[in-house]
Structure 1
Amino acid sequence: MTMKDRFDEGDLPNFEPDGKVGLMATVDPDGLPHITLITAMQALDTRRLVFGQFCEGRGKRYAEERRKVGFLFLSLDRRVWRGTASWTGKSDSGPEHAMMNKKPMWRYNSYFGIHTVHYLDVVSASGAEPIAMGRVVAGFAKGALAKAAIGPRLGPAPHPGAMNPWTSAFVSRPGNLKFAAYVGADGYPRVVPQLAASCSGGGRAYLPGTEYPEEVAGIPDGSSVALFAMALSMEDVLVRGRFRKAGSGGFVDVDWVYNSMPPVAERIYPPLRLSEKVTAF
């Protein structure tokens, strides 16, 4: 994949529709990858991105704190653009703030709108890449074989109950979109489509690597990998764990699960400690 330091001018209109998929990968305080769905993200020009914030979550905070970001756009005609960027600032007013709030998704929203816009400078950007559906189909077939042949040799998953049945089924569902993220040697996170990813029980996910095989094969063994799964109904979930290489793909021993859907984005596993019941007022 050839990367440049800017977008092609002709690609910019593809990032404007509300119906596209926009993803932002960030790095948490422990140096681990995180993925956030950001539909209100687009290019201002060939070298700058802007995204709007309407709810609170970890990804926006990590972008501001760590400044190194990975991004992905998936257009309505199933083309992908990927790259890295640096967070440069934010604003609660101005032309970009007004532009975001005039979009149909937000202009007619009775409850909330975009309250902050964030600015990113493009560091690297790919051209348009079509989703290779043949590789996705091959990935599901490879996954079934790998989970049966290789999975048992790995032994039990360290956290077999990390993903509940809903999460495991959701990640494995063929019609859902799935994307992996890892932190590169330069500290920038990268997002990689892995539509054929699936789960092996409640504690392990499998990345077949039939999509972007060289990149998946280059993820260091033992590194942390995040896997984001979403449906077109806007349901989504994020899991993360240690990557165990297996040929051109690999398994993720899931040890962390996160609900990124509004209204409350928060960790699911390990379970949060609940506050004690109030008995006296």
Structure 2
Amino acid sequence: MKNELNDRLFTSLKGDFTPKFLATKDETGTPNVVPIISIQPFNRTTLIFGNFLMLKTERNLKVNTLVSVAVLGEDFYGATIRGKFKGFQPAGEYVDIINSSNMLRYNAYTGIRSAGVIEIVDISTPYSLSKIDVLSGNIRSKLHKAWGMKLSKGQKILHPQVAEKFQRIAAVKVCAFIDETNHPFAIPVMSLQPVAPDVLIFRKKPLEQHFHSLKTDMEMAATVITMDPVAFQVKGIYRDLETQWGAIILNKAYHASVPLQGKEIASVR
């Protein structure tokens, strides 16, 4: 493990619209993961991000400073960066850097309230996915409707709009769980697919080495972003299936983008 960004990761994190995700945990240890596109490197060992309508994440950071950041570049190259949150800066160089980014310079809502600072603790072995990996993983996940029927608790957690986003092959999907270092660990799970109104299935391959500390009955969160200006997060309990497969039995769904970020989505009746 290293705590300094290599050139490729540094470049990916500098991208204004590169998918980047921040995983935190609340006072009970429940993981939370949301897209935070403003995350960028200040230097090789420090990340900064804008505090922009991220109420749940902000609350979590007040009680638990262990975090992780997942980044996935255009070529499906990325890594999970474990870190320690060092606090928010209300003014100064960090705030100026974030506000000058292309994404926030013309923001329709407001400027950032402050800039968050993350000290990098270590960086996972980089992952690299191919388009074949993404396509085949999604197709295979879709075929496991039988697992969904067996695992479902009969709850209609996935609103049709949320389910449709998770069904998209072109979507970026990321899961989070608490790893062996007690960090919330964010990892891209591009094969994540709904197979019941309260069940998501995913194939661990080719990133199976990053799931070694994920065990049945652990709490898990997942988020999805697409080219549409909306994002969603779901939460539930993990179930280990066959060697290469896992499932999340869902119990909550939330908006993960402004202006409704953090608002729970009512179950479908």
* TM-score (normalizing by structure 1): 0.87
Conserved? CA contact 1:178–1:194, under 8 Å: yes
Higher relative contact order (CA 8 A, sep 6+): 2
Conserved? CA contact 1:51–1:117, under 8 Å: yes
Which residue does 2:112 correspond to in 1?
Answer: 114
1:211 equivalenced with 2:206 (yes/no): yes
The structure 2 residue matched to 1:265, chosen from 242, 261, 264, is 261
| Structure 1 runs (4+) greater than 4 angstroms displaced | none
AA matched with 2:222: L
Instruction: Measure, in 1, the Cα distance between the counterparts of 2:69 and 2:9.
Output: 15
Instruction: Measure, in 1, the Cα distance between the counterparts of 2:266 and 2:26.
Output: 16
Matched residue pairs, number?
266
Which residue does 1:21 correspond to in 2?
Answer: 19
AA matched with 2:192: A
Instruction: Measure, in 2, the Cα distance between the counterparts of 1:221 and 1:138.
Output: 25
SS of aligned partner of 1:99? helix
Q: CA deviation at 1:34?
A: 0.4
Which residue does 1:277 correspond to in 2?
Answer: none
Which residue does 1:65 correspond to in 2?
Answer: 63
Pair 1:30–1:36, CA change in 2 (3 A) = same
Which residue does 2:35 correspond to in 1?
Answer: 37
Conserved? CA contact 2:9–2:79, under 8 Å: no
Conserved? CA contact 1:25–1:70, under 8 Å: yes
Pair 1:20–1:144, CA change in 2 (3 A) = closer
The structure 2 residue matched to 1:133, chosen from 131, 134, 144, is 131
The structure 2 residue matched to 1:151, chosen from 148, 151, 168, is 148
The structure 2 residue matched to 1:191, chosen from 186, 192, 199, is 186
- More displaced stretch, 161-170 vs 241-250: 161-170
Pair 1:102–1:27, CA change in 2 (3 A) = same
Instruction: Measure, in 2, the Cα distance between the counterparts of 1:169 and 1:17.
Output: 27
Conserved? CA contact 2:17–2:103, under 8 Å: no
Which residue does 1:276 correspond to in 2?
Answer: none
SS of aligned partner of 1:268? coil
For residues 88-126 of structure 1, the C-alpha deviation after alignment (integer angstroms, 9 at most, x for no partner) is 121111111112112222223354112200111101113
Q: How does 1:243-254 map to 2 (within 5 A)?
A: 243-247=238-242, 248-254=244-250
State the identity %. Answer: 19
Instruction: Measure, in 2, the Cα distance between the counterparts of 1:13 and 1:139.
Output: 27
Q: CA deviation at 1:264?
A: 2.3
Instruction: Measure, in 1, the Cα distance between the counterparts of 2:125 and 2:237.
Output: 30
AA matched with 1:43: P
For residues 38-59 of structure 1, the C-alpha deviation after alignment (integer angstroms, 9 at most, x for no partner) is 1111111121111111224211
Instruction: Measure, in 2, the Cα distance between the counterparts of 1:204 and 1:19.
Output: 30
* TM-score (normalizing by structure 2): 0.91
Pair 1:6–1:32, CA change in 2 (3 A) = same
**RMSD across aligned positions (CA):** 2.0
Which residue does 1:275 correspond to in 2?
Answer: none
Q: CA deviation at 1:258?
A: 0.9
SS of aligned partner of 1:4? coil
Q: CA deviation at 1:270?
A: 5.8
AA matched with 1:251: A
The structure 2 residue matched to 1:164, chosen from 138, 159, 165, is 159
Q: How does 1:46-65 map to 2 (within 5 A)?
A: 46-65=44-63
Conserved? CA contact 2:148–2:199, under 8 Å: no
Pair 1:266–1:5, CA change in 2 (3 A) = closer
Which residue does 2:82 correspond to in 1?
Answer: 84
- The higher radius of gyration belongs to 1
Instruction: Measure, in 2, the Cα distance between the counterparts of 1:178 and 1:166.
Output: 15
SS of aligned partner of 2:10? helix
SS of aligned partner of 2:163? helix
SS of aligned partner of 2:104? helix
Q: CA deviation at 1:192?
A: 1.4
Which residue does 1:274 correspond to in 2?
Answer: none
**Which stretches in structure 2 are left out of the alignment for 5+ residues?**
none
